[in-house]
Homo-oligomer: A and B are copies of this chain.
Amino acid sequence: MPDARFQPLPGFRDFAPQECAFRNYLFNTWRRVAHRYGFVEWEAPTLEATELYLKKSGGELPTQLFRFTDQGERDITVRPELTASLGRIAAAYQREYTKPLKWFEIGSCFRYEKPQKGRLREFVQFNADILGEAGEGSDAELIALAIDCMREFGFTAEDFVVRVSDREVWLRYAAENGVPEERVGDFLAVIDKFERDRPEACQEKLSAFGMKREELVDFIQNPPAGCSPRYDAVLAELEARGLAEYVQLDLHVVRGLAYYTGLVFEIFDKGRSLRAVAGGGRYNGLVATLSNGAVDMPATGFAMGDAVIAHLIEACPAARALRDAVLKPDACDVCLVLAAPEMRPQMLSLASVLRDAGVRVDLPLSPAKMGNQLKRAEKIGARYAVVIGSEYPEVELKNLSTRESIHTDPDGLMTELLGDADEA
């Protein structure tokens, strides 16, 4: 356990090497799957003009900003999310890239919220978006990418579900049930809280629209066949990909933010023990809003956070096993051990040759007993120790897992090790 006297700010995390190895495991997994889907990486500045976030209306976001005035009197904000920057940057660069844009990003976001399980003030999001494509094929591509990220972490259809919904269904429902246009946003907000509100509180809100909660429960539980042609199209695409078992139509989902326009989805653990691990949907008007109408591109995207997924991995044995495999200390391939101090120049020369060949090498930085050097080699997870003594250029190559040992010279060493390094 870390020494409690040296804490980061509340809701912020330190990544000592163990924690950083786990973070990199998440990053590498997201990156690998995104690459398989033909997505390319982009990154936004960490600070943006606050107005960029205020253009995106709705939600609690404006109250959760790390917002301040800089030395040049600018109103700036430490980014709470990436979609606003994406809209700005895509508007700036879209002419230089073939459409649709399939872009992903991995980086920190910052929200002043009450820290709790799965909720931090600095957290990492994996963002994936498709811009310049309006068809359901892109919604399906995106949902498939989200599913494959979960599968790559070791989760199965037993562990998680993608709840897909369609805002259009609710907009039609509102129109057919006499909700005036200016109150549709309020109506969607009631649906958004439908599962979390106490039934009486929910009914009270619905009464303002002349609706009965039981009718809505029934509508959600038995959505009319064909109510969302979009969902049906996405389901067909996912079926062809062999991914239909991961999704279900669930009209509870509307997503809090006002800018979503069509299909929306959230990924939850099957036990619903935590908040959503990922969420997203179509936001066709947002790029135009963010660019003041200069660039209009249909868009769909999702974000997956690192805090919730860390808890889900911990709770799932298969996912935990994949994680634990990357958390073993693994600082180097070879630890050089100096048995004869006068051979230090030869040891340093050998270190350079091995490193130039791509081998990860550690070595004693000051005089130390053989036993301590070997102990360090084991602790940092070296696969081999190479003992350099007075009989140099003969060296001893010790395999630290099998305990086997051979005597060889630097050329023989290279042959032994490079075979290994190539595999790694």
Taking beta carbons and an 8 Å cutoff, which residues of A are in contact with B? Answer: 2-10, 12-18, 20-21, 23-24, 35-49, 66, 68-72, 74, 76, 78, 85, 88-89, 91-93, 95-98, 100, 102-103, 108, 110, 112, 121-122, 130, 133-135, 137-138, 141, 144, 148, 236-237, 239-243, 291, 294-295, 331-332, 335, 344-346, 348-349, 351-352, 355, 358-366, 375-376, 379-380
Contact = CB atoms under 8 A, between A and B. Distances in A.
B93 A2 contact: yes
Contact of A355 (B12, B17, B36, B45): B36
Contacts of A97: 16-17
Contact of A360 (B38, B100, B344, B364): B38
Main secondary structure of the interface of A (DSSP, over half): mixed
A20 B38 contact: no
Contact of A344 (B89, B121, B240): B240
Central interface residue in A76, A91, A98, by most chain B CB within 10 Å: A98
Given A47-B78, A72-B112, 10 more contacts: A6-B294, A14-B45, A14-B85, A36-B358, A45-B122, A46-B122, A98-B375, A135-B365, A141-B365, A240-B345
B2 A380 contact: no
Contacts of A47: 9, 12, 66, 78, 110, 121-122
A352 B241 contact: yes
Contact of A38 (B13, B243, B379, B380): B380
| The 10 A-B residue pairs with the shortest CB-CB distance in the complex, in nearest-first order | A68-B68, A38-B362, A240-B345, A135-B366, A137-B365, A15-B43, A12-B45, A6-B92, A240-B348, A2-B92
Contacts of A16: 42, 89, 92-93, 96-97
